[in-house]
Structure 1
Amino acid sequence: MTGTTYAVLGLLAVQPWSTYELTRQMERTLGRVWPRAQSRLYEEPKKLVALGFATAAEESTGRRLRTVYSITDAGRGALAHWLREPGDGPVLEFEQLVKLGFAEHGTKDDALRTIAAAHRWAEQQNTENLAVAVRYAAGDGPFQYRAAQGMLAGAFFTEFYAMVARWSDWAAGQVASWPDDPAQAVADPAALAEIARRADWASPPTPEA
C-alpha cells in the first residue's frame, strides 16, 4: 500500500468508479497535490481488489463493458487506519527557481523571462481555481456535500498561487536593479533583513520584561 493506493481508496469511499473515472477524478481533485502517471493509477484498483479492500463488477454501457470498483468494509477500515497518521509535508519541485539559482551563468533578460513565466503560471493555475471556488461558494460545486473537506485544499492553493504571483513581482523588481551581468549582482541588504524578519514568523514571542 502506497500513498497513491490510499488516495484511490479514498476516492472509492466517496462512490464507486470505473478505472477511467478514477483517473479523471484523481486528476481533478488530487492532481495538484498528488500528481501521478495514469499508467500507475490503472493498476491501483486491481491492487485494492487483491487486498480485499475493493470489489470489481462488470457493467455494460451501451455495447461496451466496464469494470466498476467499490470499497469494502475492510477498505474503509484500512482508510481510517491510514488517516490516523499525519503524513509527510509538501515536496516542492520548481524548475524556474532552480534556474534562477544559477542566474549568474545566464543573462539578466534570461532571469526576467523566467520570473515572468512563473507569474503567468500562477495566473493560469488560478483561473480554474477561481472558477471552482466560485461554484462552491454558490453551492453548486461537484460533490458539494464534501465542500468542508475540499475547501481546505482550495484555501491552500488560493494562497499558494497568490504567493507565487507576489513573489514573482518582488523577484522581478530585484532583478531589474541588477547590472547587465548577473554575476555582478549584489544582494540588497534591506531585502535580506526583511527576509530574515519574515522567516521569524514561527518563533515564540519574547516575554515582556
Structure 2
Amino acid sequence: MARNQTLTATSYAILGLLAIKPWTTYELAMQMDRTLNRFWPRARSKLYEEPKKLVAAGLAEAIPGAHGRRPRTVYAITPAGRLALAGWLAAESAPPVFESEQLLKVFYADNGTRADLSAGLRRLRAWVDELTGTNIEVGSSYLEGEGPYPDRMAVLVLTSRFLDDYLEMIDRWAAWAAEVVAEWPEDPSTARPDLAELARTVEQATARASRWAASGDS
C-alpha cells in the first residue's frame, strides 16, 4: 500500500497499542512509558505525531470526544490497520541494535583511571537494580491477577522473560568485570590481559555457533 511507505517500526508500535483498545495521545504516551519504553524507547514528541500519520494512512481513525469540559481525541484502529499490523508482524525484522554509553566508556577505559571504571560499573549495576524493581512490580501484578490486559498474558510472559534475562546478563557481566578491574593497576592502560578469559569467551561463542548449526535453522 503506497500510503504506508512512510510508516516506521514506531508507527507499528503505536498501531499495536491501538489494536488493544482506543487511546488518546496522552494515554498512548503513558502506556509507552509503562511498557514499550523498556525495549523501544522513543521521544515523547514522536509519539504525538504517530497517531496522525496512522489516520492519514487510513490505518486509524480519530474520534472526537470530551473529558468533562475539555475536548479530546481518541484514536482507534481500523480494519485496514489490523491488516497492516498483521502484515508487519509477518515481515522480516531489522536486526537488534545495542547501544550503551557505559560499555563505550569501558572500551576506552585505558584512557582513564581504574577508579572511574569501577565507579561506572557500580552505576551500571545500580541501574540494573532500579529496573529490576519495575520487573518485579509488573510481573507480580500479573501473578496476583491484577495486571492489565490479562488476555495478552502469553506474549507478555515472553517479553518479560527477555527483559529480565537481559538485566541478569548485564548484572552478571558487571559483577565479573568489577572483580577483574579490582586487580588492575590504577592506570588501566598498563593492565595485563587475561587470555584465559578470552579463551572462555571464544569457547562460549563456538558452543553457541555449534548449537545453531545443529538446530538446522542456519
Structure 1: runs of 5+ lacking an equivalent? none
Aligned to 2:4: none
Matched positions, count:
207
2:158 aligned with 1:188? no
1:91 to partner: Cα distance? 0.9
Which deviates further from its counterpart, 108-117 or 181-190? 181-190
Identity of aligned residues (%): 46
- The CA distance in 2 between the partners of 1:140 and 1:77, in whole Å, is 31
Aligned amino acid, residue 151 of structure 1: V
Q: Helix, strand or coil for the counterpart of 1:11? A: helix
**TM-score normalised to the size of structure 2?**
0.91
Aligned to 1:14: 20
Stretches (4+) displaced over 6 A: none
Structure 2: runs of 5+ lacking an equivalent? 1-6
Q: Helix, strand or coil for the counterpart of 2:38? A: coil
- The CA distance in 2 between the partners of 1:116 and 1:130, in whole Å, is 21
1:128 to partner: Cα distance? 0.6
- The CA distance in 2 between the partners of 1:51 and 1:8, in whole Å, is 13
Q: Give the counterpart of 1:40 among 46, 69, 73.
A: 46
Q: Give the counterpart of 1:142 among 148, 155, 160.
A: 148
Aligned amino acid, residue 150 of structure 1: L
2:169 aligned with 1:163? yes
Aligned to 2:129: 123
What do you get for the CA RMSD once the two structures are aligned?
1.5
- The CA distance in 2 between the partners of 1:154 and 1:92, in whole Å, is 18
Aligned to 2:98: 92
Aligned to 1:202: 208
Aligned amino acid, residue 172 of structure 1: A
Q: In the TM superposition, what whole-angstrom CA distance separates every residue of 1:19-68 from its partner, at most 9, and x where no partner exists?
A: 10011112212111111111111111111111111111111111111100
**TM-score normalised to the size of structure 1?**
0.95
Q: Give the counterpart of 1:79 among 82, 85, 93.
A: 85
- The CA distance in 2 between the partners of 1:86 and 1:150, in whole Å, is 21
